[in-house]
């Protein structure tokens, strides 16, 4: 993987999109990619994508679980071992509710408040599964900035919704 220059938000978002494409298409999930970056060293701390790990796992969840395992801590205590200035790139806004009963990604990410400065998103979460996602507001209330990286919307939505059932056009002979 080529080195990404500090502050090159489009390249980090492209990396997250590349990760999202590794997720298996399913009608009940968005295919999402996530990249966590140390802002002081520009090091990629962890990556994740939807369904990368066992269970109904989301991209941010996979990213944080893998990072917690690397540091030998529970995910709840991850902020204690991480750098003081980080950014998260995720193709789709972190979810505020999980229909599966799993902890929502916005709550997982919010645990990193104080160290996590900004969450960069490619698109807001579509209302397909959960209407009125409050993930952005939840993060902002915790002091985490949420910023949109424009220019990826059509491709992110195409990747995210692969495998979803769509209305087929009425074709008559």
Alpha carbon distances (Å) from 55 to 13, 52, 58, 61: 25, 9, 9, 11
- State the catalytic residue, choosing from 60, 93, 107, 125: 60
Helix (H) or strand (E) holding 116: strand 116-123
* Strand bridging mode 116-123 / 145-148: parallel
Pick from 8, 28, 24: nearest CA to 102: 28
Instruction: Give the tokens for residue 92.
Output: 């789709």
DSSP assignment letter at 137: H
Alpha carbon distances (Å) from 65 to 6, 7, 30, 77: 25, 25, 19, 11
Alpha carbon distances (Å) from 136 to 87, 103, 151: 15, 16, 19
* Strand bridging mode 44-49 / 86-92: unpaired
Residue 60 annotated as catalytic: yes
Q: Which residues are catalytic?
A: 60
């Amino acid at each position: 993987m080529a080195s990404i220059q500090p502050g090159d938000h489009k390249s980090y978002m492209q990396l997250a999109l590349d990760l999202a494409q590794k997720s298996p298409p399913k009608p009940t999930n968005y295919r999402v990619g996530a990249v966590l970056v140390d802002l002081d060293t520009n090091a990629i701390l962890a990556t994740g994508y939807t369904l990368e790990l066992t269970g109904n796992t989301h991209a941010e969840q996979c990213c944080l679980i893998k990072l917690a395992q690397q540091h030998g801590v529970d995910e709840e205590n991850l902020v204690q071992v991480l750098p003081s200035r980080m950014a998260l790139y995720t193709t789709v806004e972190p979810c505020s509710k999980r229909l599966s009963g799993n902890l929502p990604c916005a709550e997982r990410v919010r645990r990193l408040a104080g160290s996590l400065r900004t969450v960069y998103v490619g698109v807001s979460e579509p209302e397909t599964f959960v209407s009125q996602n409050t993930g952005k507001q939840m993060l902002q209330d915790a002091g985490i900035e949420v910023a949109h990286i424009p220019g990826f919307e059509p491709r992110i939505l195409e990747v995210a919704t692969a495998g979803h059932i769509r209305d087929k056009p009425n074709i008559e002979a």
